[in-house]
Structure 1
C-alpha cells in the first residue's frame, strides 16, 4: 500500500512530502494509520546529520494513531486499536529481561539503522529502499510500520484528550518524566533544578510536581518557557541571562543546594552548573544531546563531595508501564502535558521543525487528516 511521508534525501536538506510503498508486514510488525506525530530535538539531530542515517530516510518517533493491520504473530493489539509508538527493544536480552528496555543490547540496530535487523526496509520508492524504522517507527507519514514491542495500546482515552496529542508520550515526555520517576526517584520535599525547559525539561518539572518535590527550579533563557514552567508546577524560574551568577541564584532559593538536577541541554557549561547546584550528596542526570561525541569537563571535587553525574536514555522506562500511568495522571489533573503541544498540519512540517529550532513551540505535533 502507499503512504505519504516526509522524506529527507540528504542530511541538512529540507523534507519533501512524497509517496512511498509499504511492503508486507513481518510477523511481529504493526501498520498504524497516523493521527499525530510529535517532533523531538532528536529528529532535528538526525535531519542535520548529527545522528547518521542512510539516505533517503524518514524520521518521526512520537507517533499516535489507529492500528490498520497486524503481522501474523501479533496478539497484543488488533485492527482498530488506538496506539502510541515508542522506541523499540528486543525483549530477550539481559537488560530487557531486567525491565530496562531503553538499554536493550540491540537498541542501536533497532532504532538508529534505518532498517530491520535483517537489513531490509519497511518502505520503498520506485523499488529502491527508503530508510525508515527510526526509533522503531518513522512516524512522519500517513502510515507507519512499528514493532509489537514499541506499539503501546492506549487505555480508555479520557474525554478531552485528542489521540494526536498522545504521541509525545512515546519519547520526549517519557524521557523527562521517566528520568524523575525511575532514575532520580525523589522523595516529597526534596529539591530539584531542571536546566532547559523544552518538552523533556517541562515533563521533568511535571513529574517532580507529582513526586512532591520542593523547590522545583526551572532554568531557561527563553521568555515564553519560564511562565509555562510555573503553570505546570515549577515553584521558581531563573533566566540565566538575567543573573550574574546562576549558582548563587539557585543557592538563594535552595540554600545548600538541590537534591537533584536534570540537564536537558548537554553543553559542558550547563552540566557543570547542574552539578554545582547540588547539595552534598546529590544526583544530576544529563539528557541533552549535542553530538554523538560530546566531550565535557567537570571538577572532580564535585564527585568527591558525594555528587553523582549519571546519564539517561528514554527515562529508563518501560513504555507499556509508564505511558498508561502518565495518561492516568493527566486524567487526575496532575500531569498537564497537553499544555506543551502546538498543532501543525502535516504539510507544514518545515514550519514545525523551525518552531522547535527557534523555541517558538515547546512540542509541535503534526496532525494528519
Structure 2
C-alpha cells in the first residue's frame, strides 16, 4: 500500500513529506493507521546516525488504529486502538523477570530492527527505507509494528495525548513510580523540565505529601513547572543548586532524577542528596560524571540508571492512562499538536522552548 511519510535524507536538512510503499504485514506483524506520533529527542539523535544509510524513517511514539494483522497474531485485532512502544523478545531472562526495557535483544529489535529475511518493509521509488525504529517508525500515515509493542487502549483515548506514553511520558513517570518510589515526606529533585521531567513531576504529584523541586534553565518551562505544582523551581544560572537544595530540604533531597544526560548536572544531583538517597539517570549522556566516591560511601548514596521507566508497558501504560482519565496525571498540559506536514515548525517551537511535547497528527 501507499502512504505519506516524513523522511530524513540528510540530518542537516529538513524532513521531507514523501509518498512511500509499505509492504503487507507478515505473519507476526500488524499494520497500524497512525493518528498521532510524539517527537522525542531520541528521534533526533538517531536521525544523525548512519549517514550513508538513507533515507531514514523515524518515530517511536505512535498511536493509532489497527488496520490489519498477520496470520500468527492473536492478541491484537483490526479496529483495536493502540499505543506503540518499544519492542522486546519476551523470552530472555530480563523479559521473563518483568524488565522488558532491558531485553537482551533490545538493540536488534529497536535500533532500526530489520526483518529476519532482510526484506524491506518500506520503500520509496524502489529504494529501501531505513525503518523499524523501535519496531514502528511511526512518522507515517501507516506503520508496520508487532503485537509485542502494541498496547491496546480504550477507543475513547485521545491519540495525541496517548502517543507519548509509548516512550517519553512512560520514561518520566516510570522513573518516579517504578524506580525511585518516593513515599510521604520525601523530597524529589528533578533536573530538567522538558517532557520527561514534567511527566515525572506530574507522577510525583500523584503520591501524597511528596515535595518537589524542579531545576530548569528555560523560563517558560520553569513557569510551567510552577503551574504543574512544583514546590520550588530553580534557575541554575542564578543559584548554587547544591547549596540551595540542601537548604530547602534541610539536608538534601531524598530522591533525584536527572533527565539531562549532562555529566555536571548528574554530579550536582548526586552532591545535593541526603544520606542514603538515590539519583536516577534517564538521560543518555556520555562519559564519567565527577562523583566524590568518599561522599558516595560515607553517605550511602546511590546512582542508578533507568530505561523506559523500568516499565512493563502492557500494564503500566494503561495505568498511566487511567490516572490521566481520572484527572490525576494531566499530561495534556504538556502536549502541543501539529499537523504532520508542519514537522519543521514543531521542531523549531521545541528548540525555542515554546512547546514541551510536540505531537504530530494525521
Given the two structures, how large is their TM-score scaled by the length of structure 1?
A: 0.94
Instruction: Structure 2: give runs of 5+ residues left out of the alignment.
Output: none
CA contact (8 A) 1:37 1:164 kept: yes
Residue number in structure 2 paired with 1:317: 311
Distance 1:213 1:260, change over 3 A: farther
Could you tell me how far apart the structure 1 residues matched to 2:209 and 2:257 are? 13
Residue number in structure 2 paired with 1:173: 169
Residue number in structure 2 paired with 1:365: 359
Within 5 Å, give how 1:225-264 maps onto structure 2.
225-243=221-239, 245-264=240-259
Within 5 Å, give how 1:180-259 maps onto structure 2.
180-243=176-239, 245-259=240-254
CA contact (8 A) 2:80 2:155 kept: no
The one-character-per-residue Cα deviations of 1:342-362 (angstroms, maximum 9, x if unpaired) are 011111111112222232210
Could you tell me how far apart the structure 2 residues matched to 1:179 and 1:54 are? 34
Q: Is the partner of 1:224 in helix, strand or coil? A: helix
Distance 1:41 1:307, change over 3 A: same
| Alignment RMSD | 1.6
CA contact (8 A) 1:8 1:58 kept: yes
CA contact (8 A) 2:35 2:64 kept: yes
Residue number in structure 2 paired with 1:13: 13
Could you tell me how far apart the structure 2 residues matched to 1:27 and 1:107 are? 21
Offset at residue 272 of structure 1 (A):
0.6
Offset at residue 36 of structure 1 (A):
0.6
Q: Is the partner of 2:226 in helix, strand or coil? A: helix
Offset at residue 114 of structure 1 (A):
4.5
Residue number in structure 2 paired with 1:81: 80
Offset at residue 332 of structure 1 (A):
1.6
CA contact (8 A) 2:112 2:135 kept: no
The one-character-per-residue Cα deviations of 1:7-52 (angstroms, maximum 9, x if unpaired) are 1113333211111111121212111111111011111111233x87
Could you tell me how far apart the structure 1 residues matched to 2:137 and 2:340 are? 14
Instruction: Structure 1: give runs of 5+ residues left out of the alignment.
Output: none
Range that drifts further, 267-276 or 294-303: 294-303
CA contact (8 A) 2:10 2:51 kept: no
Number of aligned residue pairs: give it. 361
Could you tell me how far apart the structure 2 residues matched to 1:338 and 1:68 are? 26
Residue number in structure 1 paired with 2:294: 301
The one-character-per-residue Cα deviations of 1:247-300 (angstroms, maximum 9, x if unpaired) are 11112211111111000001111001110121011101111124xx43433221
Offset at residue 213 of structure 1 (A):
4.9
Q: Is the partner of 1:99 in helix, strand or coil? A: coil
